[in-house]
Structure 1
Protein backbone atom coordinates (compact mmCIF):
# COMPACT_ATOMS: atom_id res chain seq x y z
CA UNK A 1 0.00 0.00 0.00
CA UNK A 2 1.35 3.44 -0.82
CA UNK A 3 2.14 6.07 1.76
CA UNK A 4 -0.89 8.17 0.76
CA UNK A 5 -3.23 5.18 0.96
CA UNK A 6 -1.83 4.25 4.41
CA UNK A 7 -2.33 7.82 5.63
CA UNK A 8 -5.88 8.02 4.31
CA UNK A 9 -6.84 4.66 5.77
CA UNK A 10 -9.38 2.06 4.72
CA UNK A 11 -12.28 4.55 4.83
CA UNK A 12 -10.91 6.40 1.80
CA UNK A 13 -10.44 3.14 -0.13
CA UNK A 14 -14.03 2.20 0.77
CA UNK A 15 -15.27 5.50 -0.67
CA UNK A 16 -13.14 5.21 -3.83
CA UNK A 17 -14.61 1.79 -4.65
CA UNK A 18 -18.14 2.63 -3.46
CA UNK A 19 -17.78 -0.12 -0.88
CA UNK A 20 -16.92 -2.84 -3.37
CA UNK A 21 -14.18 -5.27 -2.51
CA UNK A 22 -14.80 -7.62 -5.42
CA UNK A 23 -16.29 -7.60 -8.85
CA UNK A 24 -13.12 -6.57 -10.64
CA UNK A 25 -12.57 -8.05 -14.08
CA UNK A 26 -10.47 -11.16 -13.46
CA UNK A 27 -8.69 -10.73 -16.80
CA UNK A 28 -7.09 -7.47 -15.65
CA UNK A 29 -3.82 -8.83 -14.40
CA UNK A 30 -0.83 -6.68 -13.43
CA UNK A 31 0.64 -6.55 -16.95
CA UNK A 32 -2.58 -5.86 -18.88
CA UNK A 33 -2.16 -2.63 -20.83
CA UNK A 34 -4.79 0.07 -20.37
CA UNK A 35 -5.51 2.69 -23.03
CA UNK A 36 -7.91 5.60 -22.61
CA UNK A 37 -10.66 5.80 -25.23
CA UNK A 38 -12.13 9.10 -24.02
CA UNK A 39 -11.30 12.17 -22.01
CA UNK A 40 -12.51 12.85 -18.48
CA UNK A 41 -15.94 14.44 -18.18
CA UNK A 42 -17.17 16.95 -15.59
CA UNK A 43 -18.49 15.30 -12.45
CA UNK A 44 -16.53 12.10 -13.03
CA UNK A 45 -14.94 10.45 -9.99
CA UNK A 46 -11.48 12.01 -9.61
CA UNK A 47 -9.68 8.64 -9.69
CA UNK A 48 -11.43 7.68 -12.93
CA UNK A 49 -10.48 11.04 -14.46
CA UNK A 50 -6.88 10.60 -13.33
CA UNK A 51 -6.73 7.15 -14.95
CA UNK A 52 -8.02 8.56 -18.25
CA UNK A 53 -5.37 11.28 -18.22
CA UNK A 54 -2.63 8.78 -17.35
CA UNK A 55 -3.59 6.24 -20.01
CA UNK A 56 -3.39 8.43 -23.09
CA UNK A 57 -0.43 6.16 -23.85
CA UNK A 58 -0.70 2.50 -22.83
CA UNK A 59 0.13 1.77 -19.19
CA UNK A 60 0.04 -1.54 -17.37
CA UNK A 61 -2.40 -2.03 -14.51
CA UNK A 62 0.48 -2.10 -12.02
CA UNK A 63 1.84 1.20 -13.43
CA UNK A 64 -1.58 2.82 -13.04
CA UNK A 65 -1.69 1.62 -9.42
CA UNK A 66 1.78 3.06 -8.78
CA UNK A 67 0.86 6.44 -10.30
CA UNK A 68 -2.34 6.62 -8.26
CA UNK A 69 -0.68 5.37 -5.08
CA UNK A 70 -3.49 2.88 -4.58
CA UNK A 71 -3.53 -0.88 -4.01
CA UNK A 72 -3.76 -3.04 -7.10
CA UNK A 73 -7.11 -4.50 -6.01
CA UNK A 74 -8.66 -1.03 -5.77
CA UNK A 75 -7.27 0.00 -9.16
CA UNK A 76 -8.63 -3.18 -10.77
CA UNK A 77 -12.12 -2.23 -9.52
CA UNK A 78 -11.77 1.30 -10.91
CA UNK A 79 -10.48 -0.01 -14.23
CA UNK A 80 -13.35 -2.49 -14.46
CA UNK A 81 -15.74 0.46 -14.15
CA UNK A 82 -13.97 2.22 -17.02
CA UNK A 83 -13.80 -0.91 -19.19
CA UNK A 84 -17.51 -1.57 -18.64
CA UNK A 85 -18.39 1.97 -19.80
CA UNK A 86 -16.03 1.84 -22.80
CA UNK A 87 -13.82 4.65 -21.52
CA UNK A 88 -10.70 2.45 -21.56
CA UNK A 89 -9.58 -0.59 -23.48
CA UNK A 90 -7.66 -3.42 -21.88
CA UNK A 91 -5.03 -4.99 -24.09
CA UNK A 92 -3.39 -8.16 -22.98
CA UNK A 93 0.27 -8.57 -23.92
CA UNK A 94 0.87 -10.88 -26.85
CA UNK A 95 2.31 -14.21 -25.78
CA UNK A 96 5.81 -15.04 -26.87
CA UNK A 97 5.89 -17.20 -29.98
CA UNK A 98 6.24 -20.86 -29.25
CA UNK A 99 9.18 -22.79 -30.69
CA UNK A 100 6.78 -24.46 -33.13
CA UNK A 101 5.43 -21.09 -34.29
CA UNK A 102 5.35 -20.57 -38.05
CA UNK A 103 7.26 -17.32 -37.55
CA UNK A 104 10.26 -19.20 -36.25
CA UNK A 105 10.16 -22.12 -38.62
CA UNK A 106 13.47 -22.89 -40.36
CA UNK A 107 11.94 -22.09 -43.77
CA UNK A 108 10.87 -18.60 -42.71
CA UNK A 109 14.20 -17.89 -41.04
CA UNK A 110 16.06 -19.04 -44.14
CA UNK A 111 13.96 -16.76 -46.37
CA UNK A 112 14.67 -13.80 -44.05
CA UNK A 113 18.39 -14.59 -44.14
CA UNK A 114 18.39 -14.78 -47.96
CA UNK A 115 16.48 -11.50 -48.21
CA UNK A 116 18.93 -9.78 -45.85
CA UNK A 117 21.86 -11.18 -47.79
CA UNK A 118 20.38 -9.84 -51.06
CA UNK A 119 20.26 -6.33 -49.60
Structure 2
Protein backbone atom coordinates (compact mmCIF):
# COMPACT_ATOMS: atom_id res chain seq x y z
CA UNK A 1 0.00 0.00 0.00
CA UNK A 2 1.38 3.38 -0.97
CA UNK A 3 0.60 6.41 1.16
CA UNK A 4 0.66 9.73 -0.65
CA UNK A 5 1.40 12.69 1.58
CA UNK A 6 0.31 16.16 0.55
CA UNK A 7 3.02 18.15 -1.18
CA UNK A 8 4.28 21.16 0.76
CA UNK A 9 3.75 24.10 -1.48
CA UNK A 10 4.35 27.66 -0.55
CA UNK A 11 1.81 30.30 -1.45
CA UNK A 12 2.77 33.04 -3.85
CA UNK A 13 1.69 36.63 -3.54
CA UNK A 14 1.80 39.26 -0.82
CA UNK A 15 1.34 36.74 2.03
CA UNK A 16 3.80 34.17 0.62
CA UNK A 17 6.38 34.27 3.43
CA UNK A 18 3.66 34.05 6.10
CA UNK A 19 1.45 31.15 4.94
CA UNK A 20 2.26 27.58 3.99
CA UNK A 21 -0.59 25.69 2.29
CA UNK A 22 -0.12 22.57 4.39
CA UNK A 23 1.17 23.97 7.68
CA UNK A 24 -0.93 27.15 7.70
CA UNK A 25 0.34 30.36 9.27
CA UNK A 26 4.07 30.30 9.86
CA UNK A 27 3.95 33.16 12.36
CA UNK A 28 2.42 32.48 15.77
CA UNK A 29 -0.25 34.89 17.10
CA UNK A 30 1.83 36.15 20.02
CA UNK A 31 4.53 37.34 17.62
CA UNK A 32 1.97 39.27 15.56
CA UNK A 33 0.94 41.26 18.66
CA UNK A 34 4.56 41.46 19.90
CA UNK A 35 3.59 39.51 23.00
CA UNK A 36 0.88 41.96 24.02
CA UNK A 37 -2.47 40.58 25.14
CA UNK A 38 -4.34 43.74 26.13
CA UNK A 39 -5.41 46.38 23.61
CA UNK A 40 -4.99 50.05 24.47
CA UNK A 41 -8.46 50.88 23.08
CA UNK A 42 -11.78 49.68 24.50
CA UNK A 43 -13.04 47.24 21.85
CA UNK A 44 -15.68 44.53 22.07
CA UNK A 45 -16.76 42.03 19.42
CA UNK A 46 -19.45 44.32 18.00
CA UNK A 47 -17.40 47.53 17.90
CA UNK A 48 -17.37 48.82 14.34
CA UNK A 49 -13.98 49.84 12.94
CA UNK A 50 -13.30 51.79 9.77
CA UNK A 51 -10.13 52.95 8.02
CA UNK A 52 -9.57 56.70 7.89
CA UNK A 53 -7.33 56.55 4.82
CA UNK A 54 -4.26 57.51 6.82
CA UNK A 55 -1.34 55.08 6.43
CA UNK A 56 0.70 54.67 9.61
CA UNK A 57 4.43 54.99 9.05
CA UNK A 58 5.50 53.09 12.16
CA UNK A 59 3.16 50.11 11.79
CA UNK A 60 4.16 47.87 8.95
CA UNK A 61 3.56 44.25 8.15
CA UNK A 62 1.11 42.04 6.33
CA UNK A 63 -1.34 41.88 9.25
CA UNK A 64 -1.66 45.66 9.54
CA UNK A 65 -2.02 45.95 5.76
CA UNK A 66 -4.71 43.26 5.74
CA UNK A 67 -6.62 44.98 8.56
CA UNK A 68 -6.63 48.26 6.66
CA UNK A 69 -7.90 46.47 3.53
CA UNK A 70 -10.69 44.78 5.50
CA UNK A 71 -11.74 48.02 7.18
CA UNK A 72 -12.42 49.94 3.99
CA UNK A 73 -16.01 50.18 5.21
CA UNK A 74 -17.43 49.73 8.73
CA UNK A 75 -16.67 46.20 9.95
CA UNK A 76 -17.21 44.62 13.40
CA UNK A 77 -14.14 43.46 15.33
CA UNK A 78 -15.37 39.84 15.26
CA UNK A 79 -15.48 39.85 11.45
CA UNK A 80 -11.97 41.29 11.18
CA UNK A 81 -10.69 38.52 13.48
CA UNK A 82 -12.44 35.88 11.38
CA UNK A 83 -10.97 37.17 8.12
CA UNK A 84 -7.49 37.43 9.61
CA UNK A 85 -7.68 33.96 11.09
CA UNK A 86 -6.29 35.35 14.33
CA UNK A 87 -7.62 35.07 17.89
CA UNK A 88 -9.82 37.99 18.91
CA UNK A 89 -7.30 39.13 21.56
CA UNK A 90 -4.56 39.46 18.93
CA UNK A 91 -6.91 41.22 16.52
CA UNK A 92 -7.92 43.71 19.20
CA UNK A 93 -4.25 44.55 19.83
CA UNK A 94 -3.68 45.15 16.10
CA UNK A 95 -6.83 47.26 15.82
CA UNK A 96 -5.92 49.28 18.92
CA UNK A 97 -2.49 50.03 17.44
CA UNK A 98 -4.16 51.37 14.31
CA UNK A 99 -6.69 53.38 16.35
CA UNK A 100 -3.88 54.92 18.41
CA UNK A 101 -2.06 56.18 15.31
CA UNK A 102 -5.26 57.50 13.68
CA UNK A 103 -5.53 54.93 10.88
CA UNK A 104 -8.84 53.53 12.22
CA UNK A 105 -11.90 54.99 13.89
CA UNK A 106 -14.25 53.06 16.14
CA UNK A 107 -17.93 53.22 16.91
CA UNK A 108 -19.71 51.18 19.53
CA UNK A 109 -23.18 50.11 18.40
CA UNK A 110 -26.07 51.57 20.37
CA UNK A 111 -27.71 49.36 22.95
CA UNK A 112 -30.45 47.20 21.50
CA UNK A 113 -33.00 48.38 24.00
CA UNK A 114 -32.95 51.03 26.68
CA UNK A 115 -35.96 49.41 28.38
CA UNK A 116 -35.39 47.15 31.37
CA UNK A 117 -35.38 43.45 30.62
CA UNK A 118 -38.75 41.92 31.62
CA UNK A 119 -38.79 39.13 34.16
CA UNK A 120 -39.00 35.67 32.69
CA UNK A 121 -42.38 33.99 32.68
CA UNK A 122 -42.01 30.79 34.70
CA UNK A 123 -44.75 28.98 32.76
CA UNK A 124 -43.02 29.75 29.46
CA UNK A 125 -39.65 28.53 30.76
CA UNK A 126 -41.23 25.32 32.06
CA UNK A 127 -42.92 24.72 28.69
CA UNK A 128 -39.58 25.16 26.90
CA UNK A 129 -37.89 22.78 29.34
CA UNK A 130 -40.67 20.21 28.85
CA UNK A 131 -40.32 20.45 25.06
CA UNK A 132 -36.53 20.01 25.25
CA UNK A 133 -36.86 16.97 27.49
CA UNK A 134 -39.26 15.36 25.02
CA UNK A 135 -36.81 15.86 22.16
CA UNK A 136 -33.99 14.18 24.07
Decide: shared fold, TM above 0.5. Answer: yes
Secondary structure of the residue aligned to 1:56 is coil
Q: Is the 8 A contact 1:35 1:89 kept in 2?
A: yes
Structure 2 spans left out of the alignment, 5+ residues:
1-20, 116-136
Question: Judging changes above 3 Å, is the alpha-carbon distance between structure 1 residues 77 and 37 closer, same or farther for their aligned structure 2 residues?
Answer: same
**Offset from partner CA, 1:1-22 (integer Å, 9 cap, x none):** xxx9x9547x621221112122
8 Å contact 2:41–2:99 — kept in the other structure? Answer: no
> What does residue 13 of structure 1 align with?
29
Q: In structure 2, what is the equivalent of residue 68 of structure 1?
A: 84
Q: Deviation per CA, 1:21-74, whole angstroms, max 9, x where unpaired? A: 22x136200000000012556882211111111111110000000000000000
How many residue pairs were aligned? 94
1:32 aligns with: 47
C-alpha separation between the residues in 2 aligned to 1:93 and 1:75? Answer: 19
Distance 1:86 1:39, change over 3 A: closer
Unaligned runs of 5+ in 1: 100-119
Change (3 A) 1:96 1:41: closer
Higher helix fraction: Structure 1 or Structure 2? 1
Is the Cα–Cα contact under 8 Å of residues 47 and 108 in structure 2 kept in the other structure? yes
Aligned to 1:92: 108
